[in-house]
């Protein structure tokens, strides 16, 4: 019971915190934002908090976030083998990016960290990547 109270207190203090990160934008995100780099302050400490605040200001959610598994999967991907080496994780449905779009924290893809629950601290770098694609 005491552990639950501590968790609730920690959660409450997190929601009162503000975090300032450096946002780096590439490709289509850079065009939409109008800059390749900016500083962004938001309420909270999680990547989810950052994304909600950033999307509220810049309206890029539809460009980057996939709401369904079909929106997160491109028809041209190679089939996944039955036996994959190592540990493979995928963000849950509704917390995935669209094909070719990625979200990185300090140079690492968010799914290799804690997904949208990844904790951010002041000075972290968040990259929103949606490259220009050219196919012949």
Q: How far is CA 29 from the centre of its chain?
A: 13
Higher pLDDT, 109 or 80: 109
Residue 3 lies in a domain: no
- Give strand pairing partners of 42: 19
Higher pLDDT, 63 or 108: 108
Q: Which of 37, 46, 18 is nearest to 113 (CA)?
A: 46
CATH code for the domain in which residue 99 is found: 3.10.20.30
Look at phi and psi of residue 50 and say left if phi exceeds 0, alpha if psi is from -120 to 50, else beta.
Answer: alpha
pLDDT of residue 27: 84
Residue 62 lies in a domain: yes
> Does residue 21 surpass a pLDDT of 60?
yes
User: Which residues form the domain of 22?
Assistant: 17-77+85-130
Residue 98 lies in a domain: yes
Residue 124 lies in a domain: yes
Residues of the chain with pLDDT > 70, as a percent, come to 59
pLDDT of residue 101: 72
pLDDT of residue 57: 92
| CB 129 within 8 Å of CB 29 | yes
Number of domains in the chain: 1
pLDDT 10s digits, 35-79:
999 999 999 999 999 999 998 999 887 777 666 565 555 555 566
Higher pLDDT, 77 or 28: 28
Residues of the chain with pLDDT > 90, as a percent, come to 32
Tokens of 115: 């997904």
pTM above 0.75, yes or no: no
| CB 72 within 8 Å of CB 96 | yes
């Amino acid at each position: 019971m005491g552990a639950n109270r501590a968790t609730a207190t920690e959660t409450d203090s997190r929601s009162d915190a503000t975090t300032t990160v450096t946002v780096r934008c590439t490709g289509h995100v850079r065009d939409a934002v109008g800059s390749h780099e900016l500083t962004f302050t938001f309420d909270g400490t999680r990547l989810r908090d950052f994304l909600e605040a950033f999307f509220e200001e810049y309206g890029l959610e539809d460009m980057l976030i996939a709401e369904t598994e079909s929106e997160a999967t491109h028809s041209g991907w190679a089939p996944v083998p039955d036996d994959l080496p190592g540990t493979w994780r995928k963000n849950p449905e509704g917390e995935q990016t669209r094909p070719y779009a990625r979200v990185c924290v300090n140079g690492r893809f968010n799914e290799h960290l804690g997904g949208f629950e990844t904790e951010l601290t002041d000075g972290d770098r968040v990259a929103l990547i949606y490259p220009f694609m050219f196919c012949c």
